[in-house]
Structure 1
Amino acid sequence: MLKARILTALLLLPIVLAAIFLLPQMGVIGSFAWIAFCGLVVVVASWEWQRLSGMQGWVAKAYPLLSALLFAALSQLVYRPSLLLGLMLGASLFWLFITPCWLSKKWKLANAGNLNILLGWALLMPAGLALIVLRTAGPWALLAVLAIAWVADSAAYFFGKAFGKHKLAPQISPGKSWEGAIGGLFGVLVYTFFLPKYLFFHGELLALSVWLAIAVVLTAVSVMGDLLESLFKRQAGIKDSSHLLPGHGGVLDRIDSLLAILPIAAAIYLGFLLF
């Protein structure tokens, strides 16, 4: 399992980095290429979502295609940043306020049936669009945001292994501990302290305290994103969202934290850009 996990990571990482850094930023072809890459991630995640959420009939079969069409249409909001900001703020409210309630009440996806088509879009579309938005700030800025999830996850894993005693959410994800979560936060705070702030629009003008506050919020929602997908999988009685990525499960398993982080990061970026 560990060997498969490492080999998959070694194959995927160059592809992701090549897409971020090598796809042209300007021009119609360059814009289309990056949007298509982001759309591919959304479509694959949509295919996993219809399986995870228990959709049935033609809705389940058509969901990936419908998601592709919707993402293509919504990608035009890149040229309407004020509308895009509204969408990102709406997604941010979901992660900051609705998700904690969802985790507390443990609402069941099965109760919604095919209406989960809407929840899936609420989770996936803002994150996919945020990838487009944040890359306009530059490939290094996007990578810096993505790294928050990776740093939080890695630090939480090692702190949890070393010090984990108190379960964070035993009914949802028994392996996670409060010590791991605190370790993840510590890792992100250290990362944010040393992060070159000039990578972001007017980032150097923000006080360090503001940067650290943003780091706390993004770390918190990254944990909630992870827990929410774990809850969905537990309710569905499956371990992984799919088996597309040997050793890692599915695409949703790899981007669960990013689904929460990306819209909030994009909302912050667009807010500074517009105001």
Structure 2
Amino acid sequence: MELIGGRQLRIAAVVKNTFRQAIRDKVLYVLLFFGVLTMASGIIIGPLSLGEAPRISKDLGLAAISIFGTLIAILTGTRLVYEEIEKKTAYLIVPKPIERWQFLLGKYLGLLCVLFLVVLIMSFAFTLHVLVTEGSLHVHLWKAVLLTFFELAVITAIAILFSTIPTPVGSGVFAFALFFLGHVTRDLRALGEISESAVVKLVTNFAYYVLPNLSNFNIRGEVVHNVPVPWSQIVYAITYGLIYTIVALSVSMVIFQRRDF
């Protein structure tokens, strides 16, 4: 029991330090500011949209939470481990001894706490915005926000994975590339199905099953057009996100365990 408690305390120490480190980053506040500003722009654009103000407001709000949350996850996540290693502080900020997987898990959970706070703040602003423009809220909006958070959880795990790469620029590029590909995996698979090339079929199927299928978390179109989203779809997306996150973090831990620094 003491061993388990000791592990939890060490991980909690890393989580706390990572949270403090991330919220001191000026980039976080700049992105958060522009995210809220993007939502507010719907008030200006709405009157020019010929009756489409409610849809534009929802679309802008949900897109802002997703896009700026992703920027924070990648720009912060890909630098977390690298900066600790470069500054030689990786083993100075937590109680000793600490295993590398505990350190990496703490980093992930710390950044996830920051993203939860960011999503909470932006969702509050989004709620106020929708109430002002429509006068009411619908549960489907919160389903979209919930899936956005789990999408960010997957993206954060990917960012942590690439943070084990020696250069933050390279890890950032890879993370953004994977984010983009994650939103077109279904299209890639559809392309492979109509292709006559066996190689193309093989590559597109491989990409579909290996790359993160981030379109699972995107229900903005349904929400904007008031199309009901069943809870079974929400549960499936969350389950998929949890499994992919665990796999990505496990790979990160294996790589980090073998690194020399």
- TM (norm. structure 2) is 0.32
**Considering only CA atoms, is the larger Rg found in Structure 1 or Structure 2?**
2
